[in-house]
Amino acid sequence: MFIRAYLRASTADQDANRARESLEQFIAGHGHKIAASYVENASGATAERSELRRLLADAKQGDILLLESIDRLSRLPRKEWTKLRAEIEGRDLRVVALDLPTSHKALAESDGDDFTTQMLDAVNGMMLDMLAAIARKDYEQRRERQAQGIANAKNRGVYKGRPVDQEKHDKIRQLLAKGCSVRETARLAGAAPSTVQRVKQEAG
């Protein structure tokens, strides 16, 4: 059983590796190990994500696509989600997510009962679609609230844009000054490599 973990964070300042430990513990509890990991900082509202594309290109029949939650895979509109799901199924990938208990059965050895397997796959597919729809709705509501908040702040003349995490940026500069690589600095500072690159460029 080849397990491919997909870890995603929405923005460059978030740590996409945050869920790695919980995924590793979950898989170990089922007697398996993660064979490959795909980590990126990208919006779940688009299917064109470089690491997700690489995972799908690498995937072989029967592989497991492991997620912390379905919203890490998709916050896509319905038509785009349907297309992505068809692509996953076309590669015969089994989706397993910590927040989708019906998917955990895919980690157990098959007992040869095709009827039971088909029924579980059908239930899992319905739950997968439902959670993907909830994830999209949550995304749309958060975007709407954010837009309303920005509009209200602008009307009051107090909108200043997204604040910089000065403490994190100071730590990044200190680590870079010590000679740490971009990747090592990102890990130690709990930041995305792109954030480290930006701080490095700003420092000249």
Catalytic positions, written as ranges: 10
Quick one: CA dihedral 123, 134, 100, 64, positive or negative?
positive
User: Residue 147: in which H helix or E strand, if any?
Assistant: helix 114-156
Residues with Cβ within 8 Å of residue 84, at least 6 apart in sequence: 47, 73, 74, 76
Question: How would DSSP label each residue in 90-112?
Answer: HTT-EEEETT-GGGGGGGSPP-S
